[in-house]
Amino acid sequence: MASQTKPVLHGYFRSSCSWRVRIAFALKGVEFDQVPVNLIKDGGQQLTEQYKTLNPMQQVPAVEIDGITLSQSLAVIQYIDETRPGPRLLPADPKKRAQVRMISDLIASGIQPLQNLYVIQKMGAEKMQWAQHFIDRGFQALEPILKETSGTYCVDDEISMADICLVPQVYNAERFKVDLEKYPTIKRLNQTLREIEAFRVSHPSCQPDTPEELRG
């Protein structure tokens, strides 16, 4: 039985991992509170000793839910799926569920960590080329997979954790000026998903900690 206390998301408006969790909550219709963790201000608020108690990796998100604290967005999404009513975020069919996990892991492990803020800050002047290279490399693998698995969404015609991972990653690709014309399936799916309310309300342009100049 889910707790009556609202979950608390400690995150950053432009963090793709935080965005994934916001999408999952929105799809499930779960109300939650947000505590902003500014990854840039004061040298990075995620690096404080106080935040380290919530997430020892000193990354976002950290989610306080049902008396426990979870980090790692895919673990959070799967917990939300298993404990909250509403549309399934992982399919009942084991083959489709494996495909959803494969696509989600490809993005969450194979692409996003290589172009996240911590890595990019280490790259200095080469950060744009670095990010483009690893996003392109990942999308070159993702495109043929999605061509096989997709219907309306990443895996057939139901929204899943794979879609939750895809949209924030495409947002990052656009930020780093990756040419999406090379990836027609990724582009089509992203355009479809961005019209859905849960993806719109969770967008980085409209969060409590979104800077005024980036609001849209």
In this prediction the pTM is 0.93
What domains sit in the chain, N to C, each tagged with a CATH number? 8-87+200-214 (3.40.30.10), 94-196 (1.20.1050.10)
> 3-state class of 9 per DSSP?
strand
Q: Give the chain's radius of gyration (CA, Å).
A: 17
Cα–Cα distance, 16 to 117 (Å, whole number): 11
pLDDT tens for 110-150 read 998 887 777 877 777 788 899 999 999 999 999 999 999 99
Which has more confidence, 181 or 42?
A: 181
Q: Which among 89, 91, 39 is positioned nearest to 60, based on CA atoms?
A: 39
Residues 11 and 71: beta-carbon distance below 8 Å: no
